[in-house]
Structure 1
Amino acid sequence: MTNSYNQIVLLAVSVGSFNYGLSFGTSSAIIGLEGFLDYFRLHLEGEDAAYASSMQGAFTGVFFAGGFFGSFIFAWLADYIGRKRALDVMSIVALIGSIVSGASFHIGMLLAGRVITGLASGGMNVIPPMFQSEVSVAEHRGRNVGLHGFMFVAGLATANWAGLGANFSPNEQLQWRLLLALQAVPSILLLILRFWLPETPRWLTLNGRPDEALDTLKKLHDDGSDAEHQRALDEQQEIVKQIELDSRHDTSWKALFTRPSARRRMLLGIFLMFFQQSTGQNVLYGLQINILNSLGLTGWKASLVISCYITWAAFLNFVGAALLDRVGRRTMLLIGLAGTTIADAIHTSLAVTYGGGTNKVGAGAAVAFLFLFITFFAPCIDVTSYVYGAEIFPTYMRARGLAVTIATYFGFAAVYTAASTAANNSIGAKFNIIFISLSAINFVVAYYVLPETKGLSLEEMGILFGEETEVAHIESGTVSPSDPKIEPVNIQVQSVAVEE
């Protein structure tokens, strides 16, 4: 079971997830504030329109670019110095980014701050779900790692509500500076909470510290009824044996794509984030303002509706996390793909027909189906994709596999967002046809390639990828409490001889 100490650890780590959502949402929250647009000359009308358009695009683009590279940097750090210390570095970088952004006095400094924040955000999307997966018991891992998706969207909702409140501030410069500085709060909180966080038992075992790993497992997974810590002993023995089996293979970056089972995991992680972004969620969220304007909802009224939309998504992410261990990852993802495809198809038809017109009933129906879209996306795809991506990789390649997975997320987010800006000016909502088509295709592909991971320990995942003979199996109670000594295993994540 997940005991109280484990729950505290999971919640503390998810502060990093909240930080990512807050950082991500801040850009869209401040881009509509008059004080921000006036200070940096970013109004899309007038003689500076071309400059403003390019700078607004850069403001979003550099964040995603930073996230892309940050995914790899912090994954490397998580392997090299440990998950906990990498979390520390991530928080410090995020704090620096928020300070530079909030203190910006010209556009170059603002963009530099967003790059730094983006780098940290790459880590925020890699380390928390990886950390959570490595300290969770198999039967509750979906709910536990699902905290990442919930807290991410909770941070996004907080940014939107803060942006709504900023509309009413009489000090126009304080509006946007305060929002940018707000990103520092979760960074500072995480640096304080780190003193109560353990290192993950799998990283400790991987780096020759099994005794420390065993002590951590006892704290994390014993519920008081297991006086002899049998569960922790069995779990540690399974981790050790699996690392020994994995060490017989080449563990270099190249091998992640040349070894068939590792390549399948990697491609599955890439596909996972490709179809997540190919639903068009970020684009639909970004273009929502156009539909709201056609209804006569502008300014703070439009911000209010969007804030409610994101808050609904956060609640549904929480519901999705609670359902994952019962319904299963594969089932949730397939339901989400089917539901979002249908909802987007109807929304797009209504948006093309009534968007920008005077028929408020039709435009209102378009908004309603946008809410139906997020009702399927949030619990079934958003929260599930992070859980799935964090658990399909073995310990020796989890950081790197998740780095590639999250980099795919940032890469396609940047491409689709950039393309939507130009497409919206020329074809409007018709651009969504691309996402509807891709999602329909992805549903068919997902049906055939997604295995179910529910209920399996992280060490047992190899069974799903053709490694039946290379998966550690430990019978309950095989390790004697009177002789819990486990020999150290120190497997460096690099190329080693392959045992044929």
Structure 2
Amino acid sequence: MIFSAEEQNQLGTLIFPSTTVVHWVAGQLRQNGLSIAQGINWYTIWVVAFVCSGSVAYGYTALLLAYFELETRSNGTNLLSATNGLYYAGGTLGVLSLPTFADRYGRKWGITVPALILVVSSALLGSSVHISMFLVFRFLAGAGAFMILLAVPVYLSEVVPPKLRGALVDVHATAFNFGYMMAGWVGYGFYFWQSKHLVQWRSPFFLQALCPLILLLGLFWMPESPSTRLQILEELHSTLSDPEQTFALKEFYQIQKQVETDLELPRSWIEIFRRPSYLKGFIIAAVVNALTQCPGVLVINAYGPTLYAALGFPVEKQLIYAAAWVTLATSMNFVVIFLVDHFPRPKYIFIGLALCSVCLITEAAIIKDFVSSTNEAALRAGVAILFVFVVFYSILVDGTQFSYICEIFPNHLRVKGTSFAFFCGGVIDIIYLQCAPTAFNNIGRKYYLVFTITISLGAILVWTCFTDTKGKPLEEIAAIFGDTDEVTVFEKS
């Protein structure tokens, strides 16, 4: 082993009990020549892919199925709003509790707790006997889903090499869009399924427990984040092209020295708002997360069938279009893996927001002129624009936000800073989703203009004021915001 026993114990860190398994797997992968690029091997890829089963769980959990035939009730619109609103309210509050586990007990516990919540809430959602029971556990499911939505990219940002951070963290976005896709097609399939023994909507909720259960079973063998378990870098970032493990050793030294410094720095919630450099990073993270919700992508995702119904399509086509929409989003997020690390983060997001704005304006115009007509070409164009929208959003905005937000904060405040930023984004989600059914019923196409105006103004702010962090080691992020005294070792030193 390239790391001595003394180095492995300098900060009192111990690899978790399954260290023998980790060393064996990593050794087998390296012996077979499975290395990809500097600092990344197939063991790293395997870790990223497995942890992203939690991301799939988030995407699937966001599905919304008819419960107690809500669409046929006189107060169906209000109940639909409540179902979505409580889910995102739970998520908004849930992310604030994540630092309690991820900072105190380690990043793996930050993933374990929400996975447990998702397993329990899924079982109880599928077993609900009254709408009140369903709403309570929908709230709990939201808490677990949003906690894991944040915990996974934070973990990934710390275990992958800096030069490929954007690409590998984007696997998280690809995975939760895959969860959306699963939910869409499962919902479509169960629309046609009839059973005398099980109510139509229950089975998809029981299936919701599958991914977090798999994650729980495998987390025992996952490495802890290098920010708290330095020696795991040998397994994660060694390659055959670097037999002396120079890259991993440099990372080891840099992280080790930075952790020693971080232990002396204040890490309370109030510190984020007290120090100007921390506050600037928080504002960037909060605005980016809020802006990525402002195009209304979650509204389109959650109320897709409602939108297609407004365009005059029957129920079967509504479900097909909704499922196809998230399928396209999944494939486009995969494309981002090969693009995101080649462009400055703010400029990349700006282009995406601008193009999304154009799509929403076009959609509003089509609805205004043709929604009540029999012009099939125009109605198909209305559907097509929503698909073009998700291409731009997925490639330029969706996955990029996670790598950007997670890498803005210094190590000792990363979970607190990102959780508060996601809290702000969650508030935006609640407002948009709670208002969506009523807004579509009363102002129709004008609701798209709300999205358009917001993201147009926000895009200008992103282009002109936001700092780029692409490719920087997390240990040097503080220096970008002027805190050079908090950085112990620089990459080139």
Please say whether Structure 1 and Structure 2 have the same fold, judged by a TM-score greater than 0.5: yes
Paired with 1:474 and 1:61, the residues of 2 have a C-alpha distance of 45
Match status 1:256 vs 2:296: no
1:191-206 to structure 2, matched below 5 A, reads 191-204=216-229
Paired with 1:475 and 1:342, the residues of 2 have a C-alpha distance of 41
Task: Give the structure 1 partner of residue 35 of structure 2.
Answer: none
Paired with 1:348 and 1:288, the residues of 2 have a C-alpha distance of 15
Structure 2 runs not aligned, ≥5 long? 1-38
Aligned counterpart in structure 1 of residue 143 of structure 2, from 107, 119, 131: 119
Match status 1:63 vs 2:87: yes
Paired with 2:150 and 2:200, the residues of 1 have a C-alpha distance of 31
Task: Give the structure 1 partner of residue 183 of structure 2.
Answer: 159
Conservation of the 8 A alpha-carbon contact between 2:304 and 2:318: no
Task: Give the structure 1 partner of residue 27 of structure 2.
Answer: none
Report the CA distance shift for 1:158/1:467 in structure 2 as closer, same or farther (over 3 A): same
Aligned counterpart in structure 2 of residue 356 of structure 1, from 359, 372, 384: 372
Report the CA distance shift for 1:198/1:328 in structure 2 as closer, same or farther (over 3 A): same
2:355 is matched by which residue type in structure 1? Answer: G
1:190 is matched by which residue type in structure 2? Answer: L
2:220 is matched by which residue type in structure 1? Answer: F
Task: Give the structure 1 partner of residue 32 of structure 2.
Answer: none
Paired with 1:432 and 1:295, the residues of 2 have a C-alpha distance of 14
Match status 1:180 vs 2:205: yes
Conservation of the 8 A alpha-carbon contact between 1:291 and 1:356: no
Paired with 2:80 and 2:304, the residues of 1 have a C-alpha distance of 17
Other structure's SS at 2:103 match: helix
Paired with 1:475 and 1:83, the residues of 2 have a C-alpha distance of 24
Other structure's SS at 1:175 match: coil
Task: Give the structure 2 partner of residue 395 of structure 1.
Answer: 411
Task: Choose 338-347 or 350-359, whichever is displaced more.
Answer: 350-359
Conservation of the 8 A alpha-carbon contact between 2:347 and 2:462: no
Match status 1:169 vs 2:193: yes
Task: Choose 288-297 or 382-391, whichever is displaced more.
Answer: 288-297
Task: Give the structure 2 partner of residue 432 of structure 1.
Answer: 448
Match status 1:404 vs 2:396: no
Q: Residue deviations 1:106-130, cap 9 Å, x none?
A: 1122112212211111211111000
Task: Give the structure 2 partner of residue 130 of structure 1.
Answer: 154
CA offset at residue 396 of structure 1?
A: 0.5
Match status 1:273 vs 2:289: yes
Task: Choose 163-172 or 176-185, whichever is displaced more.
Answer: 163-172
CA offset at residue 292 of structure 1?
A: 2.7
Other structure's SS at 1:473 match: coil
Task: Give the structure 1 partner of residue 435 of structure 2.
Answer: 419
Other structure's SS at 1:43 match: helix
Paired with 2:312 and 2:469, the residues of 1 have a C-alpha distance of 46
Aligned residues with identical type, % of pairs = 29
Q: Residue deviations 1:270-305, cap 9 Å, x none?
A: 101111111122223445434533554212221111
Paired with 1:104 and 1:288, the residues of 2 have a C-alpha distance of 25
Normalised TM-score (structure 1): 0.87
Structure 1 runs not aligned, ≥5 long? 205-212, 479-500
Conservation of the 8 A alpha-carbon contact between 2:227 and 2:259: no
Task: Give the structure 2 partner of residue 94 of structure 1.
Answer: 118
Report the CA distance shift for 1:337/1:152 in structure 2 as closer, same or farther (over 3 A): same
Normalised TM-score (structure 2): 0.88
Paired with 1:291 and 1:93, the residues of 2 have a C-alpha distance of 32
Report the CA distance shift for 1:86/1:440 in structure 2 as closer, same or farther (over 3 A): closer
Conservation of the 8 A alpha-carbon contact between 2:191 and 2:200: yes
CA offset at residue 349 of structure 1?
A: 0.9
1:116 is matched by which residue type in structure 2? Answer: L
Task: Give the structure 1 partner of residue 174 of structure 2.
Answer: 150
Paired with 2:352 and 2:393, the residues of 1 have a C-alpha distance of 6
Paired with 1:155 and 1:282, the residues of 2 have a C-alpha distance of 14
Task: Give the structure 2 partner of residue 449 of structure 1.
Answer: 465
Conservation of the 8 A alpha-carbon contact between 1:291 and 1:355: no
1:237 is matched by which residue type in structure 2? Answer: Y
CA offset at residue 227 of structure 1?
A: 3.8
1:13 is matched by which residue type in structure 2? Answer: V
Paired with 1:227 and 1:436, the residues of 2 have a C-alpha distance of 52
Task: Choose 130-139 or 409-418, whichever is displaced more.
Answer: 409-418
Paired with 1:340 and 1:389, the residues of 2 have a C-alpha distance of 20
Q: Residue deviations 1:58-90, cap 9 Å, x none?
A: 211111111111101123211111111232222
1:68 is matched by which residue type in structure 2? Answer: T
CA offset at residue 247 of structure 1?
A: 4.4
Conservation of the 8 A alpha-carbon contact between 2:82 and 2:434: no
CA offset at residue 175 of structure 1?
A: 2.3
1:210-229 to structure 2, matched below 5 A, reads 213-214=230-231, 216-229=232-245
Q: CA RMSD in A?
A: 1.8
1:477-488 to structure 2, matched below 5 A, reads none
Conservation of the 8 A alpha-carbon contact between 1:154 and 1:311: yes
Q: Residue deviations 1:92-118, cap 9 Å, x none?
A: 111000010011111122112212211
Paired with 1:396 and 1:241, the residues of 2 have a C-alpha distance of 13
Match status 1:240 vs 2:256: yes
1:4 is matched by which residue type in structure 2? Answer: W
Other structure's SS at 2:337 match: helix
1:167 is matched by which residue type in structure 2? Answer: Y
Paired with 1:59 and 1:293, the residues of 2 have a C-alpha distance of 20
Task: Give the structure 2 partner of residue 460 of structure 1.
Answer: 476
Paired with 2:130 and 2:296, the residues of 1 have a C-alpha distance of 33
CA offset at residue 133 of structure 1?
A: 0.4
Conservation of the 8 A alpha-carbon contact between 2:347 and 2:463: no
1:292 is matched by which residue type in structure 2? Answer: Y
CA offset at residue 355 of structure 1?
A: 1.5
CA offset at residue 449 of structure 1?
A: 1.8
1:103 is matched by which residue type in structure 2? Answer: S
Aligned counterpart in structure 2 of residue 43 of structure 1, from 71, 74, 81: 71
Conservation of the 8 A alpha-carbon contact between 1:141 and 1:325: yes
Task: Give the structure 2 partner of residue 19 of structure 1.
Answer: 57
Conservation of the 8 A alpha-carbon contact between 2:96 and 2:423: yes
Paired with 2:86 and 2:310, the residues of 1 have a C-alpha distance of 30
What number of residue pairs does the alignment pair up? 454
2:40 is matched by which residue type in structure 1? Answer: T
Other structure's SS at 2:374 match: coil
Other structure's SS at 2:469 match: coil
